[in-house]
Amino acid sequence: MDRIPVTLSRIIINERSDQQYIFLKEKDGNRSFPIVIGIYEAAAIDRYLRNFVTPRPLTHDLIFNLLDGLNAELKGITVTELKNDTYYAVLEVRKDGETFEIDSRPSDAITLSIHAKCPIHVSAEVMDKVGALEPDASEFEMGPGAEIDLPGPDDEIELPDPDGEIDLPDLDKDFGDE
CATH number at residue 24: 3.10.690.10
In this model, does residue 137 exceed pLDDT 80? Answer: no
The pTM of this model reads 0.74
**Does residue 20 form part of some domain?**
yes
Q: Give the side-chain half-sphere CA count within 13 A for 150.
A: 19
Mean pLDDT in residue range 34-60: 92
**Does residue 93 form part of some domain?**
yes
In this model, does residue 78 exceed pLDDT 80? Answer: yes
Given this model, what pLDDT does residue 153 score? 46
pLDDT digits (tens, 9 = 90+) for 89-125: 999 999 999 999 999 999 999 999 999 999 999 999 9
Q: Calculate what percentage of the chain has a pLDDT beyond 70.
A: 75
User: What mean pLDDT, rounded, does the chain reach?
Assistant: 83
Mean pLDDT in residue range 64-75: 96
Close Cβ partners of 170 (under 8 Å, ≥ 6 residues apart): none
Range of the domain at 23: 3-149
Radius of gyration of the chain (CA): 18
Given this model, what pLDDT does residue 1 score? 85
> In this structure, how many other beta carbons lie within 10 angstroms of the beta carbon of residue 100?
12
Given this model, what pLDDT does residue 166 score? 44
Mean pLDDT in residue range 69-77: 97
Q: Number of structural domains, the chain?
A: 1
**CB 97, CB 114: distance < 8 Å:** no
